[in-house]
Amino acid sequence: MVGAQLDADVRGYIDAIPAAHRPLFDRLHRLILSGGPGGGPVGGRDVTVVLAYKMPTYRAGDRRVHLGVWKHGVSVYGWRKDDDGGFVDRHPALKTSTGTIRLRPEDAAGISDEEFAGLFRGALGGPPA
């Protein structure tokens, strides 16, 4: 699914991401679509990408997670606090409000793909790692 066709609105959003934030966005985008290290869609579920709330929104069944670029990095919205793989407990300073995780590139550099994949699996209803 990583090489999946994206509609024009999603492609336009991604193409407009500032170069400083594109590597982080691309990393998170890849992890969501691949299911993380080891590959495969999140929890074996197909993930589609649409533009909702003016940002890329990843859907698996009735579950959603959003990635939005802000001036200092990338924010993750819509993750489930009851099923985040312990992400917020390990990184409490990154949670800025209910359902929002703000990541600066320097913050994300110290977080493994496995941790992010656990967050996204929880958000999209996949099994734990």
pLDDT of 119 higher than 50: yes
Kindly tell me the burial class for residue 39, based on how many C-beta atoms sit within 10 Å of its own C-beta (0-12, 13-18, 19 or more): exposed
63: closest CA among 20, 128, 121? 121
Strands 63-70 and 100-103, by their bridges, are unpaired
Find the range with the poorest average confidence among 19-28, 35-44, 111-120: 35-44
Q: Given a cut of 70, is residue 108 above it in pLDDT?
A: yes
Q: What pLDDT, in 10s, does the model give residues 14-27? A: 999 999 999 999 99
Class of 8-124 in CATH: alpha beta
pLDDT in tens, 53-73: 999 999 988 899 999 999 999
Is the pLDDT assigned to residue 41 strictly greater than 80?
no
